[in-house]
Chains A and B, each alone.
Chain A
Amino acid sequence: MKILVVDDFSTMRRIIKNLLRELGFTNISEADDGQTALPKLQAGDFDLLITDWNMPGMTGIELLKAVRSDEKLSTMPVLMVTAEARRDQIVAAAQAGVNGYIIKPFTAGTLKEKLEKIFERLAA
């Protein structure tokens, strides 16, 4: 399982990476915004994208839309981990095709639960 973690704050990337490692995921790459993430996604064989929303350059919602409109990436599961908590934002992310939405600050348990849910759906 190869995962790309996208967040402009390196502390948050480290936190998510640590949590993922504890859940048994070790093949993790990082990017600091959508602009650097997209070429990585297009070049690599990632199985899951975990992204923040509020980032300079290209935001997470723009990245999500770009992924969904890219033929090769369109079915990739995307989990959003963000401080953006307005209803219309969550609805917009859902409409753009997000697979899970976690608001910061979050717990290790929430991350585990949402990941399990995504994988369950994929298996079904």
Chain B
Amino acid sequence: MSAVATDLDESLGARLQRAKALVAALEKGDEAEADRILDEIGRVRESMLFQEIGKLTRQLHEALTGFMVDNKLAELTENDIPDARERLNYVITMTDQAANTTLNVLDEVLPQLDALSEKTDNLGARWERFLQREMPYTEFREMSQEISRYFKDMSPALAQMQAQLNEVLMAQSFQDLTGQIIRKVIELVQQVENSLIELIRFSSRHMSPSAPATDKGKPEVEAEGPVVPGVDKAEAVSSQDDVDDLLSSLGF
């Protein structure tokens, strides 16, 4: 293609010149020259058209990219954020349960400890009197019976307290489970933030070429975190018995 044809900011003068040359060629009856000039003019037009189409294509592309950003945001707001709300509600439920379990155990154990301590003080004081030889025999007999009873009661009471403290121990597992859920929500917040930044970038026309989705090589089966009732339903087992059944169906 000639240099003229690619010059798109063709000046008025150049156009006028070409028109004059065309008229001159026609007047001279030089048809070949006239055709050549006409072709040239056509090529200039064509090239400008291409550029316009190019511009339109780019605008369309940008609009579509922006639309995709919108879509991602829409999806986040439609699905993921209500999900996150459910997850955080579940965190409240779990922390509530754990706190209540712990406080209930305290309510049970503290009076038991009080009673035990009172009994111990009482027996201790009497035992001291016995050691000081200040106790009549009948009272001693009574006391030794009471000591026997005390020992007999002590062992189940201690076992019960151990079980209760174990309950407190197990209640602390909420920290792990809620921590995993909160981490997931933090990830979501980060995603929303990124989408918003992209959207702002797009609408303020400081478009950077849209980054490809950051799908790094994922392992086949990924960690999902705890099952949240009402959010995760599909494909999750609901109890340890289900796990055991599934494993035994696999020959375990």
- By a beta-carbon cutoff of 8 Å, the part of chain A in contact with chain B is 7, 9, 11-12, 14-15, 18-19, 22, 53-55, 59, 61-62, 83-92, 94, 101-108, 110
Give the interface residue-count category, chain B. Answer: 20 to 34
In the complex, the answer to whether A87 meets B236 with C-beta atoms within 8 Å is yes
* Interface check B158, CB cutoff 8 A: no
The answer to whether B226 touches A11 (Cβ under 8 A) is no
Contact status A22-B243, CB under 8 Å:
no
How many whole Å from B40's CB to the nearest CB in chain A?
A: 67
Q: Is B224 an interface residue (CB 8 A)?
A: yes
Contacts of B219 in A (CB 8 A): 59, 61-62
B225 interfacial by beta-carbon distance below 8 Å: yes
**Shortest CB–CB separation between residue B224 and chain A, in angstroms?**
6
Does B9 have its Cβ within 8 Å of any Cβ on chain A? no
B166–A11 CB distance below 8 A: no
Query: For residue A110, which residues in chain B have a CB less than 8 angstroms away from its CB?
Result: 240
Q: Report if B47 contacts A (CB, 8 A).
A: no
28 contacts between A and B (CB under 8 A): A7-B176, A9-B179, A12-B175, A12-B176, A15-B170, A19-B166, A54-B223, A55-B223, A59-B223, A61-B221, A62-B219, A85-B226, A85-B243, A86-B236, A86-B237, A87-B235, A90-B237, A90-B243, A94-B252, A101-B247, A102-B240, A104-B226, A105-B170, A105-B174, A105-B177, A106-B173, A106-B240, A108-B166
In Å, the complex CA distance between A105 and B169 comes to 12
A54 to B243, CA, bound (A): 17
Q: Is there an interface contact between B247 and A54, defined as CB atoms closer than 8 Å?
A: no
Expressed in whole angstroms, the Cα–Cα distance for A54 and B219 within the complex equals: 12
| 9 closest residue pairs by CB, A with B | A54-B223, A83-B226, A9-B176, A12-B176, A11-B175, A92-B221, A85-B236, A85-B227, A86-B235
Contact with A along B215-237 (1 / 0, CB 8 A): 00001110111110000000111
The winner among B169, B175, B221, B239 for most chain A CB atoms within 10 A is: B221
Q: Are A19 and B169 in contact (CB under 8 A)?
A: yes
Say if the beta carbon of B180 comes within 8 Å of chain A: yes
A-B contact count (CB 8 A): 92
Chain B residue numbers with a CB within 8 Å of A19 are: 166, 169
Q: A19-B169, A61-B219, A104-B177 are in contact. Are A84 and B240 (CB under 8 A)?
A: no
Give the A-binding residues of B (Cβ under 8 A): 166, 169-170, 172-177, 179-180, 219-221, 223-227, 235-240, 243, 246-247, 250, 252
A85 and B173 in contact, given A61-B219, A94-B247 (Cβ under 8 angstroms): no
Please state if A54 and B225 are interface contacts (CB–CB under 8 Å).
yes
Residues in B neighbouring A108, C-beta threshold 8 A: 166, 170
Does the CB pair A87–B246 fall under 8 Å? yes
Residues in A neighbouring B247, C-beta threshold 8 A: 90, 94, 101
Known contacts A19-B169, A92-B220, A105-B177; 17 additional CB pairs below 8 A are A9-B179, A11-B175, A14-B172, A54-B180, A54-B225, A55-B223, A61-B219, A83-B227, A85-B227, A85-B237, A86-B236, A90-B237, A90-B243, A94-B252, A101-B243, A102-B243, A103-B239
A15 and B172 in contact (CB under 8 A), knowing A54-B180, A83-B180, A91-B250? yes
For residue A50, give the distance in angstroms from its CB to the closest CB of chain B: 14
CB distance from A25 to the nearest CB of B (A): 15
